[in-house]
Structures are given as C-alpha cells and as structure tokens.
Amino acid sequence: MKNFFSICCLLILMMWGSSVLAEEPLHKTNPILFLTLQNYRVLSGRIHKILEYRFSSMNQCSVGTQKTFKTRFEKLPLYSDNREIVLEFLSLYSDSLNVEKDCLITLDKNEQEFKNFERERFSSVHKTLDALCVPPKKDNLDTSNTGSIERNCYFKFQQVLSDLDPHCVSFQVPNFTNSVDPFPCMMADYLIGRSMVSDTSWEYYIQNTARFMDQFREAFARPNIRAQGINLWEIFLGSRKDTPILREEFLAQLNFFFSSSQSASSYIRGFHDHIWQFVLRKTKSPLVTLDYFLATRIKINEFQTVYNWALQNNYPMNIQGIQMTGKNRHNFMAAFLACHYRNENSAFYESLPVMLGYAYETYDFKSHVSDDKDSFEVAKENFVTDTNRYRTGVYWGYRFCMQQF
C-alpha cells in the first residue's frame, strides 16, 4: 500500500511537471519558431490595415470585383501566425493590383489615405509641404512608389522633406511581453529601403547580405583580430569596385540593420513595407514575397545578435577607421542622408540631417516624458545625446561617401 501511494505521488508529480513544461512560453522553449510566428503576425497585421483602407471604397470597381474582394477580406482575421493565411493576405493585396484602370486608381487613392493617416503625428511638417508643393493629379498616381507621395515642389528643400516622409505606424501586434512601442515613428525608411532593394539590386540582395554575414562571423577567427579590428566596410565591399554609390548602399544597409525592429517586435518599419510591396509587384508571387521578407528579417536578428556579442566581448569594429563604439541608428541615419545628398550644396548634406534630427527628437522628447514617464532631466539628456549623434554622423558620413578616407 505504501509503495502504491508512493507510485501515485510520483505519477502526480510527473503529470504536474509535464503540465508546467507545457505552459512554458514559446519564446523560451522554441525561440526560432516564436520569431517566425511573430513575423507572420506583424506582416499580416500590417497588410490587413492597408487593405482595410484599400477596400474602404470601391465605387469605380465592377460589382463582381467588389463582391470578391469584400468576401475574401471579411474572411481574414486581424492578423495571423498561420503561414497559409499570411499567403492569402499577400494574394489578396496582389490581386487588388490587377484590376481595371478606374478601379485601380480608386484603390490606390484609398491606400494613399492610409499613408496620410499615418503622417498625422507630423501633420505640421506635411501641411507645410502641401502649401509649397503641387500634389499629384488624381488620375496620375505613381503606384510603383511604395514610399513617399510624389509632389511637384517649387523648392528642392521641400522635395527632399517630402521624400523623407516622416510618419508613425498606426497598428501594432503585441509581442510575448504584450508591450507596444509608444513612439513607433520614423523618417527616411522608405528612402533607405529603395536604396537597398531596387530594380538593379533586388535579385541579388539576399545573396549579398548572406555573404556579408558569413564574412562578418568569420572575421572573429582571424589571428590578431583584437589588435587589427574589424572593418565592416571592407567586409561589405569584398572584391567589388569601390564607388560612392556602393558606399551609399552600405550606409543604407547599416541603417537597415541598426534601425529595424527585431522579429520579436510588435511592428515592421517602412524598410520592410517597401520590401514586401516591391517584391510582390515584381514577382506577383505571394510565396516568393513571404520567403524574401522572412529572409531579410532573419538577417536583422543575426546581425544584431553577432554585433552585440562582439561589443560585449570587446572586439573593436570600425568603418575605415571610424570606431563603432557608442554609435547607433541616429549616427547612421545622419551619415546616410549626408551621403545620399552629397551632390547637393552644403545646406542639404550638412544642415538637413541635423534639422531632421532635431525635429524627430523633439517628438521623441515628448514621448519620453508623457509615455515612458521619464523625468525631464532624463528626457533632456536623451535629446542632447541623440541630436549630437546627427551632427557627428553628418561629418563622417559625407566624407566617407566622397571617398575621403
């Protein structure tokens, strides 16, 4: 009887233990699967929001088209971690691009309203642009541009601000901590996306990024690497010819690596909006698009993991002698903008990135105080530190692109 009681207790403990293990959160038991599922959620949630606007009015579409799109959209959840459902999201968006002309103009106009909605937090900037620029004709929208609205501007400065397109993400999918970003705002991310993935680069972009990551990891095995340091630009350049255009692409890639949210985050930035829309338009394949999207997300996770490990283990890294210690996305954003506008006068490549940095950090300052509940002094210190990063980024970014070092 005593043995029977002991066996029963053991079985109960085993069952209790297995139930505890079963309740262990997925991000701990299978982080790779969790990240994949979260990528599905944020992408499908993003597309759902776009389609909600895109199908808000279809009065110029045939009755059959209206009924088909409405029926298919209503069957979709707000977001999903099911691969097949995510493919249906992509398929529905792709099909909405292949309709009669008047219908397409209406749907594209609706999607433009969505972009306008996400610009509301920076409404003062966009109102200034609208006052100084001529908006596109309603029947001549550039549907190939997945980023900023096309305006005819009287002054180059306003055109540049229009291209940078400051905006905030309007929908987030809670992650494993059920947290969301109180300031999911950005600028120039579509511009950076177009510098990385374009008509001339998209087919070999994944391959080049994989090569860069392979050589980045292999660099740590070199003899005397701590004394020599790791030059990220040399790894990126490889055997290719050094040109200002390739240096701009490199700075765009660094922005992508440092500014992109990892797969555990609650939303995707404009880089990835550009990528999935561009590839879908090019290939008309939801499957190719989804795999392409996931490949870029994996490389972000991989780079940030290796880079942070290198910093923690005191491996020196540089860009042609510019040390990476203490640098972050603000430095690289300013460097990229100074490089991108290198052929303009100094008002653009020196002043513009700094002005934008002040504008962005002003909104971020408010967020630190109101949303993060930081003290005034903490928010002020963050503002001063980050705006200074834009100044130093402009200085070396321009000179790097002009091949002065």
pLDDT of residue 5: 42
Mean pLDDT across 298-303: 93
In which band, very low, low, confident or very high, does the pLDDT at 16 lie, cut at 50, 70 and 90? very low
Mean pLDDT across 132-151: 52
Structure tokens at 93: 């968006």
pLDDT 10s digits, 332-344: 988 998 999 898 8
**Residue 109 near residue 102, CB atoms below 8 Å:** no
Mean pLDDT across 251-279: 91
What are residue 174's phi and psi, to 5 degrees?
-55, 140
Q: Which residues contact 51 (CB under 8 A, 6 or more apart)?
A: 73, 76, 89, 92, 93, 96
Amino acid at 279: V
Give this prediction's pTM.
0.82
| pLDDT for residue 272 is more than 70 | yes
pLDDT 10s digits, 309-326: 999 999 999 999 999 988
pLDDT of residue 372: 58
∠ CA 315-317-320 to the nearest 5 degrees? 155
The 3-state DSSP class for residue 3 equals helix
Q: Which residues contact 40 (CB under 8 A, 6 or more apart)?
A: 80, 81, 82, 83, 86
| pLDDT for residue 360 is more than 80 | no
pLDDT of residue 19: 40
pLDDT of residue 8: 45
Question: Comparing 199 with 359, which gets the higher pLDDT?
Answer: 199
How many Å apart are CA 191 and CA 32, to the nearest integer? 30
b/e map of 332-356 (b: 16 or more CB within 10 Å)? bbbbbbbbbbbeeeeebbbebbbeb
Structure tokens at 1: 């009887």
pLDDT of residue 377: 74
Name the residue ranges covered by the structural domains of the chain: 31-119, 137-401
| pLDDT for residue 35 is more than 70 | yes
In which band, very low, low, confident or very high, does the pLDDT at 77 lie, cut at 50, 70 and 90? very high
pLDDT of residue 359: 66
Residue 341's nearest CA partner among 386, 392, 402, 387 is 402
pLDDT of residue 380: 67
How many Å apart are CA 202 and CA 275, to the nearest integer? 9
| pLDDT for residue 384 is more than 50 | yes
pLDDT of residue 298: 92
| pLDDT for residue 150 is more than 90 | no
pLDDT of residue 15: 40
Q: Where are the alpha helices (DSSP H) in 143-243?
A: 156-164, 189-196, 202-218, 225-228, 232-237
pLDDT of residue 392: 85
pLDDT of residue 326: 84
Which of the residue ranges 113-122, 157-166, 278-287 would you say has the lowest mean pLDDT? Answer: 157-166
pLDDT of residue 404: 85
Which of the residue ranges 48-57, 157-166, 280-289, 379-388 would you say has the lowest mean pLDDT? Answer: 379-388
| pLDDT for residue 90 is more than 60 | yes
If you write DSSP's letter for every residue of 117-137 in order, what string do you get?
HHTGGGHHHHHHHHHHEEPPP
User: Cα 45 vs. chain centroid, distance in angstroms?
Assistant: 15
Mean pLDDT across 181-195: 89
| pLDDT for residue 378 is more than 70 | no
